[in-house]
Amino acid sequence: MKDINSGTICTFERMTGEAESICIVTHMKPDGDAIGSSVAMYHFLKKQGKKPRIILNDPYPSYLSFLVTEDMSDDIMTYDGKPLEACEAIKGSDLIICLDFNAFHRTDNLEVPLAEATGKKILIDHHLNPSRELFDLSFSETEISSASELLYQILIRTSQTGNDACRLGMECARALMTGMTTDTNNFANSVFPSTLHMASDLLAAGTDRDYILNRLYNQYGENRLRLMGHMMKDLMKITPDGVAYIVLDRQTMEEYGTEEGDTEGFVNMPLSIADVRMSILAKEDEDRVRISIRSKRGTSANMCARRFFNGGGHENAAGGRLHVPGDVKDMAEAGAYIERVTHIFLNDEKSC
């Protein structure tokens, strides 16, 4: 891990130690890794006597609420709920810790206050092509499972922890394990030797993984399962090129009472089909279509997202968006667009 060494750890400790006001920021539409790493960072700083705040563009999904303890409620703010206060909190911070995103635009409405903020900024991220020039200290590693694992590798090396996971504290350890578990799809992808070492250390430190799994995967509403059945039976299409795609419009989501996070993991499911090389989930979201892409080894989800979906990510797990109007006239055109561009991509990969 090229960015983690005694020098950068020392700088990290100095910057967090000297800061009077600290904001923790993550990407829009936060997922398990975003919230897991943010909450873990929060508890680590609290243990050092700091008073950090977590600033989100959007509310976190309800299935992650078990990570947010009651005493944290005053320290989490969303732009969605308090736009002016959220922007002022970022601009007024001595230190801003940016987790699980590689450039300010990934935070949507928080992009401008982040760019205008004069406080020091630390990047902790595992995505490709980070905008390092925006940060005073960067921890950017792509050969790692998640931002939560990267944060673990940083925190475990600090003088406060001394390579002892027990000294992280239960709340911090639980959040780190949760973030890593969700971003690996429960160890189904993006798993490295370091990922298993992390899991082993956290388990040895007393982290209750059974509790985490129960909260993550066994607490959804009935409608989620019914939506999944409808998506796989009626909405999933498979092209002759081996691309499975699902177009999920707002009307369907409203019909099933879909909340943010309810479709987590659905995009992975079509990859269980032998002839499917790539899976795409397209979800309607205001003036855009949100795109999630997963692929099997040998097919680059990242390159497809970068070339055709205004996005990017990891080799086999990426995301992006289609602008409406712009890339497509309306949601009804999303399926035809996906079929056309994936055919081009999969039959002309050398030019990608």
Tokens 């795609």 belong to which residue?
A: 245
How do residues 85-102 score in pLDDT, each as one tens digit? 999 999 999 999 999 999
- The predicted structure's pLDDT at residue 117: 97
How far apart (Å, rounded) are the C-alpha atoms in residues 100 and 314? 13
Element (H, E) at 153: helix 147-155
Does 48 share its domain with 89? yes
Is 66 inside a domain boundary?
A: yes
Percent of the chain with pLDDT over 70: 99
- The predicted structure's pLDDT at residue 349: 52
Does 16 share its domain with 158? yes
Final residue of a domain: which of 217, 237, 253?
Answer: 217
Does 185 share its domain with 240? no
How far apart (Å, rounded) are the C-alpha atoms in residues 134 and 96? 12
Does 206 share its domain with 251? no
- The predicted structure's pLDDT at residue 186: 95
- The amino acid at 327: D
Does 190 share its domain with 274? no
Q: Give how many domains the chain has, as a whole number.
A: 2
Q: Which CATH number belongs to the domain containing residue 299 in this structure?
A: 3.10.310.30
- The predicted structure's pLDDT at residue 101: 96
Is 88 inside a domain boundary?
A: yes
- The predicted structure's pLDDT at residue 352: 42
Mean of pLDDT over the chain: 95
Does 271 share its domain with 236? yes
- The predicted structure's pLDDT at residue 49: 96
Does 75 share its domain with 159? yes
Q: Which CATH number belongs to the domain containing residue 157 in this structure?
A: 3.90.1640.10
Domain with 13 in it: 6-217
- The predicted structure's pLDDT at residue 287: 80
Angle at 335 between CA 314 and CA 285, to 5 degrees: 70
Could you say which DSSP state residue 249 is in?
-
Does 24 share its domain with 165? yes
Does 116 share its domain with 246? no
How far apart (Å, rounded) are the C-alpha atoms in residues 222 and 35? 24
Final residue of a domain: which of 217, 249, 283?
Answer: 217
Nearest to 263 by CA among 287, 245, 283: 283
Is 204 inside a domain boundary?
A: yes
- Measured CA distances, 341 to 97, 160, 286, 329, 337 (Å): 37, 50, 23, 16, 6
Nearest to 15 by CA among 150, 138, 191, 176: 138
Structure tokens at 177: 């394990």
Range 192-201 burial, b when 16+ CB lie within 10 A, else e: eebbeebbeb
How far apart (Å, rounded) are the C-alpha atoms in residues 126 and 108? 19
Residue-by-residue pLDDT tens, the chain, 352 positions: 789 999 999 999 999 999 999 999 999 999 999 999 999 999 999 999 999 999 999 999 999 999 998 889 899 999 989 999 999 999 999 999 999 999 999 999 999 999 999 999 999 999 988 999 999 999 999 999 999 999 999 999 999 999 999 999 999 999 999 999 999 999 988 899 999 999 999 999 999 999 999 999 999 999 999 999 999 999 999 999 999 999 999 999 999 999 888 999 999 999 999 999 999 999 998 889 999 999 999 999 999 999 999 998 889 999 999 999 999 999 999 999 999 999 999 998 544 4
Does 236 share its domain with 269? yes
- Residue 153's Cβ-side half-sphere holds a number of Cα atoms within 13 Å equal to 28
Burial of 338 (0-12, 13-18, 19+ CB in 10 A): buried
- The predicted structure's pLDDT at residue 261: 86
How far apart (Å, rounded) are the C-alpha atoms in residues 234 and 268? 17
Does 307 share its domain with 266? yes
How do residues 7-17 score in pLDDT, each as one tens digit? 999 999 999 99
Is 283 inside a domain boundary?
A: yes
Final residue of a domain: which of 169, 188, 217?
Answer: 217
Does 19 share its domain with 145? yes
**Is the alpha carbon torsion for 132, 135, 136, 137 positive or negative?**
negative
Is 1 inside a domain boundary?
A: no
What does residue 304 show for φ and ψ, rounded to 5 degrees?
-65, -45
- The predicted structure's pLDDT at residue 342: 98
> Cβ distance 323 to 296 under 8 Å?
no
Angle at 52 between CA 49 and CA 54, to 5 degrees: 155
How do residues 162-189 score in pLDDT, each as one tens digit? 999 999 999 999 999 999 999 999 998 8
